């Protein structure tokens, strides 16, 4: 509760209030009386006056048991009269004895004594009645309470003695005075600590999710979870227990709110400054795996410093998706420093840099053109990644088969062992290109064994495109006749499935392609016809043309 939230009334005349509260009488003297009658509600006592005085039965009852019987002598306080009947109280006799004991106990510092008790009632909204463990009652004026009347009954409080009225056997106390004096003392003590700038020791009183409350000899301060470790925000329960002693430095103090901010990490040397001249990029250090995240692991150097081992720096194997697959919490590992920024408190390390790079080993053992064995690591829409000696190479769909319709995902499954050919190694990008089809005979190469440029072939029309026509040759090999090579045939006059004859003009065994030409066939046939005319003197040109047309 803050001081500004407390309802504070106007100061009252304590003497007047005391008289009202404890019903001041003419003599307030203690006399012996004799119990005349005891009923369920009251006790009549003869005090030597015309009419007996009356006590409520509760004044002679303890824990439900009546302590006296008819005829017993009992001490009571005379407090005047109500009509003709004397006003008496046995309870005030007990209070008087307790009052006298309290005064004797604190006679040397009576108005500096501090009491503790429970609020038992609100006195006409003018203040509170407080009763301590011995049953002694005190009066606390509302203006001296720093409390609201609502909900105050039953509350345990501490207060300081303001005034003692021995004539009335009463004590007036103030919680306000105790709080304000404690505030002044706290302000002074904090000021002295901050002025010296010294580290002080305290005891952890309470641990929360956002920090810890530390007792510095009667005043509490908060160590925020950001001020516990140089690692950054941490859970204080992972580092300390309630009751532990810690060294702290006072960071700030809000006098109005009485908020004292403390720091544990500021009380110790900054470890980042200590490693500034001791560590540099390229150094190998031993660390402990301290925490896991999806993107890597945190490593502990000791002395409140943590570094990041990113998942990409754990292994040269790019297929590793979870750091827990290779590391265990608490493991000690050697790593290489790859980034050190003291100002930003950032340290990055690498585990894979301390192992031979698989790509380097691969290049030393393999070359373009080599046929090797590999294992399917990953299947994708565009191909497959094949693992060879710890390195992944790409088998593109275009290289899986001489049939362009084949795809890796339709031919293989993860874990399959296959024979492949290395067709490219990019040293700069560290990429490896692989091929299965180059380990197999090319249909165009088989075609080349039976045909050469100039040979005439026949096939069925497979597809018609804007740029030409494809026909099916032997071994399901495609032959392309470009539009300009179709003359004198017109594209509109042909249909898929029709037979077509053409001349071979190019066989590309690397790309598995065969170029054909109808135009060249026409030219070739004309040349043969002219040659026949020159070789056959008995025949006329008309005869030859007639035979050709037939």
Give pLDDT tens digits along the chain (550 positions).
Answer: 333 333 333 444 544 544 444 444 445 678 889 999 999 899 999 988 888 999 989 888 888 888 899 999 998 888 877 778 888 888 888 888 888 888 888 888 887 889 999 998 887 768 899 998 888 889 999 888 888 878 888 899 999 998 888 777 788 999 999 888 888 888 777 777 777 778 888 899 999 988 999 988 778 889 999 898 888 888 888 889 999 999 988 888 877 777 888 999 888 888 888 888 889 999 999 999 999 998 999 999 887 888 999 999 998 877 788 899 889 999 999 999 999 999 888 999 999 999 888 888 889 889 999 999 999 989 999 999 999 988 889 999 989 988 878 899 999 999 999 999 999 999 988 899 999 988 888 888 888 888 999 899 999 999 999 899 999 998 888 899 999 999 888 888 889 999 999 999 999 887 888 999 998 887 887 777 776 666 654 555 555 455 544 4
Instruction: Please give the Cα distance from 88 to 277 (Å, whole number).
Output: 87
Length reported for the chain: 550
Intervals of CATH 2.40.50.140 along the chain: 1-174, 197-267, 271-354, 358-439, 448-524
The H-assigned helical ranges of 119-218 are 175-196
Q: Distances from the Cα of 130 to the Cαs of 56, 173, 367, 408, 500, in angstroms?
A: 21, 9, 96, 88, 118
Of residues 514, 540, 545, 505, the one with CA closest to residue 528: 545
Instruction: Please give the Cα distance from 366 to 434 (Å, whole number).
Output: 12
DSSP state of 237: G
Q: Which CATH architecture has domain 271-354?
A: Beta Barrel (2.40)
Of residues 33, 31, 36, the one with CA closest to residue 73: 33
Instruction: Please give the Cα distance from 343 to 357 (Å, whole number).
Output: 32
- Let me know: does 287 contact 349? Beta carbons within 8 Å: yes
- Burial, 447: exposed, middle or buried (Cβ in 10 Å; 0-12, 13-18, 19+)? buried
Query: In the structure, how many helices (H) and strands (E) does the chain have?
Result: 9, 32
Q: Is the peptide bond before 488 cis (omega within 30 degrees of 0)?
A: yes
pLDDT at 533: 63
- Let me know: does 349 contact 310? Beta carbons within 8 Å: no
From the options 1.10.20.10, 3.30.43.10, 2.40.50.140, 3.90.470.20, give the CATH code of 1-174: 2.40.50.140
Q: Distances from the Cα of 386 to the Cαs of 80, 395, 411, in angstroms?
A: 110, 7, 14
Fold of the 197-267 domain: OB fold (Dihydrolipoamide Acetyltransferase, E2P) (2.40.50)
Give the pTM: 0.47
> Is 214 in a helix, a strand, or coil?
strand
From the options 3.40.50.720, 2.40.160.60, 2.40.50.140, 1.10.10.10, give the CATH code of 358-439: 2.40.50.140
Q: Distances from the Cα of 76 to the Cαs of 29, 96, 98, 320, in angstroms?
A: 8, 10, 15, 91
Of residues 314, 312, 313, 288, the one with CA closest to residue 302: 288
- Let me know: does 176 contact 162? Beta carbons within 8 Å: no
> Is 398 in a helix, a strand, or coil?
helix
Strand pairing report for 127-131 and 114-123: antiparallel
From the options 2.60.40.60, 3.40.50.300, 2.40.160.20, 2.40.50.140, give the CATH code of 448-524: 2.40.50.140
Q: Is the dihedral of CA 332, 336, 342, 344 positive or negative?
A: negative
Of residues 114, 184, 176, the one with CA closest to residue 146: 176
Backbone dihedral angles phi then psi of residue 44, each to the nearest 5 degrees: -95, 130
CB atoms within 10 A of CB 2: 9
Instruction: Please give the Cα distance from 387 to 359 (Å, whole number).
Output: 11
Burial profile 103-128: b = 16 or more Cβ within 10 angstroms, e = fewer: eeebeeebeebebebebeebbeebbb
Instruction: Please give the Cα distance from 471 to 458 (Å, whole number).
Output: 8
For 255-295, strand residue ranges (E) read: 259-263, 284-293
> Is 168 in a helix, a strand, or coil?
coil
- Let me know: does 512 contact 444? Beta carbons within 8 Å: yes
pLDDT at 35: 92
């Amino acid at each position: 509760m803050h001081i500004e939230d407390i309802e504070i009334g106007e100061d009252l005349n304590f003497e007047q209030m005391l008289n009202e509260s404890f019903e001041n009488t003419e003599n307030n003297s203690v006399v012996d009386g004799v119990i005349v009658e005891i009923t369920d509600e009251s006790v009549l006592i003869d005090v030597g006056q015309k009419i007996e005085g009356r006590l409520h039965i509760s004044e002679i009852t303890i824990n439900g048991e009546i302590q006296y019987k008819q005829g017993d002598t009992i001490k009571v306080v005379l407090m005047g009269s109500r009509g003709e009947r004397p006003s008496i109280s046995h309870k005030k006799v007990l209070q008087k004895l307790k009052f006298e004991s309290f005064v004797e106990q604190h006679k040397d510092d009576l108005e500096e004594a501090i009491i503790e008790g429970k609020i038992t009632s609100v006195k006409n909204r003018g203040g509170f009645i407080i009763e301590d463990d011995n049953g002694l009652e005190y009066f606390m004026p509302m203006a001296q309470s720093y409390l609201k009347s609502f909900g105050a009954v039953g509350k345990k409080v501490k207060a300081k003695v303001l005034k003692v009225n021995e004539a009335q056997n009463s004590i007036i106390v103030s919680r306000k005075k105790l709080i304000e004096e404690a505030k002044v003392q706290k302000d002074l003590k904090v000021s002295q600590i901050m002025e010296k700038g010294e580290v002080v020791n305290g005891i952890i009183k309470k641990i929360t999710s956002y920090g810890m409350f530390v007792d510095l000899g009667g005043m509490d301060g908060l160590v925020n979870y950001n001020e516990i470790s140089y690692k950054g925000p941490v859970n204080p329960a992972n580092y300390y227990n309630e009751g532990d002693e810690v060294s702290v430095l006072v960071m700030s103090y809000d006098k109005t709110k009485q908020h004292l901010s403390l720091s544990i990490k500021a009380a110790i040397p900054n470890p980042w400054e200590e490693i500034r001249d001791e560590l540099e990029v390229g150094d190998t250090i031993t660390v402990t795996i301290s925490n896991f995240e999806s993107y890597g692991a945190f490593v502990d150097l000791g002395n409140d410093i943590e570094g990041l081992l990113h998942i990409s720096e754990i292994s040269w194997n790019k297929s590793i998706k979870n750091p827990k697959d290779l590391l265990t919490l608490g493991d000690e590992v050697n790593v290489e420093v790859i980034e050190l920024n003291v100002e930003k408190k950032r340290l990055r390390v690498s585990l894979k840099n301390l192992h031979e790079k698989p790509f380097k080993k691969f290049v030393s053992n393999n070359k373009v053109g080599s046929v090797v064995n590999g294992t399917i690591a990953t299947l994708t829409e565009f191909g497959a990644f094949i693992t060879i000696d710890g390195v992944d190479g790409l088998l593109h769909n275009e290289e899986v088969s001489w049939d362009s319709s084949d795809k890796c995902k339709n031919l293989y499954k993860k874990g399959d062992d296959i024979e492949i050919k290395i067709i490219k190694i990019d040293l700069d990008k560290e990429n490896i290109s692989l091929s299965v089809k180059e380990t197999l005979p090319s249909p165009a190469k088989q075609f080349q064994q039976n045909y050469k440029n100039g040979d005439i072939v026949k096939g069925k029309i497979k597809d018609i495109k804007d740029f030409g026509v494809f026909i099916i040759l032997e071994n399901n090999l495609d032959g392309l006749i470009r539009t300009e090579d179709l003359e004198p045939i017109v594209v509109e006059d042909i249909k898929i499935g029709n037979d077509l004859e053409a001349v071979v003009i190019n066989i590309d065994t690397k790309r598995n392609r065969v170029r054909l030409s109808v135009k060249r066939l026409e030219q070739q046939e004309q040349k043969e016809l002219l040659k026949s005319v020159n070789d056959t003197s008995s025949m006329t040109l008309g005869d030859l043309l007639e035979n050709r047309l037939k």
